[in-house]
Structure 1
Amino acid sequence: MAEVKFENIVKEFEDANKGKVLAVNDANFVVHDKEFLVFVGPSGCGKTTSLRMVAGLERQTSGDIYIGDRLVNKVHPKDRDIAMVFQDYALYPHMTIRENLAFGLKNLKTPKAEIEKKITEAASILSIENLLDRKPRELSGGQKQRIAVGRAIVRNPSVFLFDEPLSNLDAKLRVQMRVELSELHKRLGATIIYVTHDQVEAMTLGQRIVVMNAGKIQQIATPEELYENPNNMFVAGFIGSPPMNFAKARLEGNQLHTATHTFTVPKGKLVGYKKYDGKEVIMGIRPEDILSTQLMPSVPTENVIKANLKVVEHLGAELLIYFDIGNDQLTGRVSADAKYKPLTQVDLYFNLKKMQLFDPETQQRI
């Protein structure tokens, strides 16, 4: 396996209506050897373009790409020692699964005995031994996805590239395939770069995550770091389900004044906020840090508000509750034991030890 390095990568496209479009803007990162790195972001953010540049399917406008110690700017895709798994499986319908798996190896003039050995090993890893003599039309979506992964495994590449491979599967099968891909990474000890628009998928699969927006890398960090210490409001709002809540506020001393409520900032947090005293800020708080007072052993004396619930969503063991602070809608996640109903007033405790404050102009975390 090998590491992958982007140095000052810029990618521009020509658009007939808009002229030059900056798809990737000065990207710098290293995918470590045997790491599972995930690119995540909304449609058009540059994540798939970045993956295609690693594969050599797109040529960067400027900057350097390394796979291992080798500069691959001018290396043909077939010579980059990578294997790519696409969203649409790309299986040959007239071939058996065995023939699909062997196709790339035959093109590389691999000896027949070695091809059979690699197919047997890949089939064992993916538990598809009983599918080898079938045609793709006889398989389910999940089985087809395993075959697409198997075709990459038999290549034994330095780097595996996955381009939204689970997006065509139903929700239950996506969960199953996430587990299987995670286990596969452990078994192969492979370097994997994975692209998805699904932040839950990114958080469950990635050892580190690259969050992109509008062609720019917003943050590269572990799932835990992204969730607990997002660089900016975009990352905070994109990572997490439901996402972080935001409310306009004004910081005065140790008080946060919103349109309708006043909160007390915990002493341990005040040190980092000194230069924003007397200024407008954005308060960010996760839904799970808004708690039902009726389920607390003792009700705190500070940071408890009366909220008028607009909507209550039942999710089995949990409730998602929706209410307003001024013009800002907030979401809380509480235990179903609270038995909340819509259009009622309830007491909620805001755990501000877990809150974040953001600069309203730069949207950067303070």
Structure 2
Amino acid sequence: MARVEFRNVRKQFNDQNKQAFTAVAGSDFVIQDKEFVVFVGPSGCGKTTSLRMIAGLEQQTSGDIIIGDRIVNNLHPKDRDIAMVFQDYALYPHMTIRENLSFGLRNLKKPKDYIEQKVREAATILGLEDMLERKPRELSGGQRQRVAVGRAIVRDPQVFLFDEPLSNLDAKLRIQMRVELGELHKRLGATIVYVTHDQVEAMTLGERIVVMNKGVIQQIASPTELYANPKNMFVAGFIGSPAMNFINARVERGRLFISGGEFQLPQDAATGLQGYESGEVILGIRPEHIYGEDFAPGVSAEHRLNAHIKVVEHLGSENLVYFHVGERLVTAKVHPETKAYNGLDKPFILDLAKARYFDPVTEDRILW
């Protein structure tokens, strides 16, 4: 396996009017040997373009791409020692699973004994031993995706590239395949670069996550770090489900003012915001850090906010409660026994010790 490095890599395309637009803007990062890194972001953010540049399917406009100890800028995809798994399984329907798994090795003129060994190893790892003589049409979606992964495994590449491989599966199969991919990474000790638009996939699979927006890397960090310490409002709003709440606020002399409430700031926030000149901030708070007054264990009741509940979603293990603070719709993730129903006026407690603060103009985090 090998590390992957981008050094100031840019990619520009020309649209139909021959106007250049930037798909990837000066990316710099290192993916360590045997690391599982996930690229995540909305459609058009540059994540798939970055993956395709690693594979050699797109040529970068400038910058260097390094795999292992080689600069691969001008290397053909087949010479980069990578294997790619696409969203579409791309299996040959007329071939058996055994033939699909061995196809790449047969094209490389590998010895028959070597091919058989590699196919057997991949089939064992992926639980396909009893399916080798079947055709793809006889398999479920999850089994076909395993075959697509198996075709990559038999290549024994330096780097595995996954381009939204679970998008075509139903919700239950996606969960199952996430578990299987995580176990596969541990078993192979492989370097894996994985692209998805699904932040739940990113959080559950990635050892580190690269969050992208409009071609620019917003933050690279572990799932825990991204969730707890987002660099800006985009990361804070993209990572987490339901998303972080953003509330217009003002700070003055250690106090926080929002529509319907005035609170004493926790000491660390009051100290950190003391020199913030404009006074206008965006308060960011996760739904699970807003409690119904009747279920707020260990949280100070002094940060109480009266709210008029608009909608309640009952999810069994938790309830999602929606209400407005000023013009902002706020979501609270509360205990299922919290008294809450549509139209109820009810106090909620904000855990300001876990809140984050952002500049309303730059949208960057103010306190770190």
Aligning the two structures, in what range does the TM-score lie when normalised by the shorter sequence? over 0.9
2:284/2:357 contact within 8 Å kept: yes
TM-score (norm 1): 0.98
Determine the C-alpha separation between the residues in 1 that align with 2:294 and 2:181: 41
C-alpha change, 1:207 and 1:2, in structure 2 (3 Å) is same
Equivalent residue, structure 2, for 1:98: 98
2:5/2:66 contact within 8 Å kept: yes
- After superposition, the C-alpha distances for 1:186-209 in whole angstroms (9 at most, x for unaligned) are 000000000000000000000000
Equivalent residue, structure 2, for 1:44: 44
User: Could you tell me which amino acid in structure 2 is paired with residue 116 of structure 1?
Assistant: E
Equivalent residue, structure 1, for 2:365: 365
2:260/2:305 contact within 8 Å kept: no
C-alpha change, 1:142 and 1:297, in structure 2 (3 Å) is closer
C-alpha change, 1:131 and 1:183, in structure 2 (3 Å) is same
Equivalent residue, structure 1, for 2:243: 243
Structure 2 matches for 1:41-120, cutoff 5 A?
41-120=41-120
**For this pair of structures, how many residues does the alignment match?**
366
User: Could you tell me which amino acid in structure 1 is paired with residue 43 of structure 2?
Assistant: S
C-alpha change, 1:178 and 1:278, in structure 2 (3 Å) is same
User: Could you tell me which amino acid in structure 2 is paired with residue 149 of structure 1?
Assistant: V
The offset of 1:84, in angstroms, is: 0.1
**Larger deviation: 273-282 or 330-339?**
273-282
1:2/1:159 contact within 8 Å kept: yes
SS class of match (2:44): coil
Determine the C-alpha separation between the residues in 2 that align with 1:152 and 1:339: 52
Equivalent residue, structure 2, for 1:190: 190
Structure 2 matches for 1:1-366, cutoff 5 A?
1-17=1-17, 19-276=19-276, 279-296=279-296, 300-366=300-366
C-alpha change, 1:85 and 1:97, in structure 2 (3 Å) is same
- After superposition, the C-alpha distances for 1:300-352 in whole angstroms (9 at most, x for unaligned) are 34111111100000111100000011001100000111141111011111000
CA RMSD of aligned residues (A): 1.1
1:6/1:29 contact within 8 Å kept: yes
2:357/2:365 contact within 8 Å kept: yes
The offset of 1:138, in angstroms, is: 0.8
- After superposition, the C-alpha distances for 1:116-157 in whole angstroms (9 at most, x for unaligned) are 000000000000111110111111100000000000000000
Query: Sequence identity of aligned pairs in percent?
Result: 64
Q: Find runs of 4+ consecutive structure 1 residues off by over 4 angstroms.
A: none
Determine the C-alpha separation between the residues in 2 that align with 1:359 and 1:88: 41
Determine the C-alpha separation between the residues in 1 that align with 2:70 and 2:244: 41
User: Could you tell me which amino acid in structure 2 is paired with residue 101 of structure 1?
Assistant: L
The offset of 1:18, in angstroms, is: 6.5
- After superposition, the C-alpha distances for 1:62-99 in whole angstroms (9 at most, x for unaligned) are 00000001000000000100000000011011111100
2:38/2:195 contact within 8 Å kept: yes
SS class of match (1:74): coil
User: Could you tell me which amino acid in structure 2 is paired with residue 28 of structure 1?
Assistant: D
**Larger deviation: 44-53 or 297-306?**
297-306
User: Could you tell me which amino acid in structure 2 is paired with residue 305 of structure 1?
Assistant: L
User: Could you tell me which amino acid in structure 2 is paired with residue 348 of structure 1?
Assistant: F
1:253/1:277 contact within 8 Å kept: no
Determine the C-alpha separation between the residues in 2 that align with 1:304 and 1:361: 28
User: Could you tell me which amino acid in structure 1 is paired with residue 207 of structure 2?
Assistant: Q
Show structure 2 runs of 5+ residues with no match.
none
1:252/1:277 contact within 8 Å kept: no
The offset of 1:296, in angstroms, is: 3.3
1:38/1:210 contact within 8 Å kept: yes
- After superposition, the C-alpha distances for 1:223-265 in whole angstroms (9 at most, x for unaligned) are 0000000000000000000010001111101111113222221
SS class of match (1:322): strand
**Larger deviation: 298-307 or 110-119?**
298-307
**Larger deviation: 295-304 or 337-346?**
295-304
SS class of match (2:274): helix
Determine the C-alpha separation between the residues in 1 that align with 2:301 and 2:154: 62
